[in-house]
Amino acid sequence: MQSILKTLLLFLTMIYFNNVSKIYKDAVALDDVTLTIAAGEFVSVVGVSGSGKTTLAKMILADENPTNGTVFFESTNVHKLKNKDLTKLRRRIGVVFQDFKLLQNKTAYENIAFAMEAVSKTDEEIASDVPHVLELVDLSHRIFHFPNQMSGGEQQRLAIARAIINQPELIIADEPTGNLDQINTHEIVQILKKINGLGTTVILATHDRAIIDLVGKRVVTMENGKVIRDTKHAK
């Protein structure tokens, strides 16, 4: 019985950090982190600036190598992947940043089309999918606008649309509301919850404790590179 449960647990696990540490010259960014995230979860990672949230995200994407420990994505050790397979893994993950990282000389449509072209989607697929994803993030009216013609909240919604267009299994949003006011923050959280409701796993890193109440799901609290708390619900 126990082994059946273990197998089931392994099957549902998307991300597994096994005693992961990351030590930079002047900082311990991650300190012996063990963490499991199941497919379909919405996990808020909270902690003050410098507590290790971004480093945690970078580990999943294999942007950085751990000093110790192992990071698994669906039972694959991500740091053992060769270039081609790493590219494939990264395509299964959508990333959203504080500063949006949109292409300024492209319209909303073109920003998303660009991400689809990168995975060899046809013009027909692009023409049919882009309006849908913009509708999902409530941005249909901005389809032919450039980023600098949009508010911060709209730009972040566009960045989210771009992150989900190729149907990743996981969205990592690192301080996505860091440049936004309260109303726009609320909207971004609602959109991330909607995407999670459609089946995508979400990891949201933030220093803002007010956000974890808005999300109301699992909260992983970090301090000095350690996970000091892991609770099922914010409220």
Largest CA distance in the chain: 59
Among 54, 156, 184, 196, binds Mg ion (CB under 5 A): 54
- Residue selected from 14, 20, 51, 161 as contacting ligand ADP according to rule CB under 6 A: 51
Residue 177 touches which of Mg ion, ligand ADP, none (Cβ within 5-8 Å per kind)? none
Name the nearest CA neighbour of 203 among 163, 147, 165. 163
From the list ligand ADP, Mg ion, none, pick the one residue 94 interacts with, judged by a Cβ distance below 5 to 8 Å according to partner type: none
DSSP 213-227: HHH-SEEEEEETTEE
Instruction: Tell me the per-residue interface mask from 55 to 74 with ligand ADP, x by CB under 6 A, - otherwise.
Output: x-------------------
Residue 5-44 contact track with Mg ion, rule CB under 5 A, x = bound: ----------------------------------------
How many Å apart are CA 125 and CA 56, to the nearest integer? 34
- Mask 140-179, x = binds Mg ion (CB under 5 A)? ----------------------------------------
Task: Report the distance separating Cα 172 and Cα 58, nearest Å.
Answer: 10
Of these, 24, 88, 127, 141, which contacts ligand ADP (CB under 6 A)?
24
- Establish if 54 lies at the interface with ligand ADP (CB under 6 A): yes
Measure Cα distances from 18 to 39, 56, 180, 198, 231 in Å.
Answer: 17, 12, 34, 28, 19
Neighbouring C-beta atoms of residue 151, cutoff 10 Å: 12
Assess 52 for contact with ligand ADP (CB under 6 A).
yes
Label the pairing between strands 42-46 and 218-223.
parallel
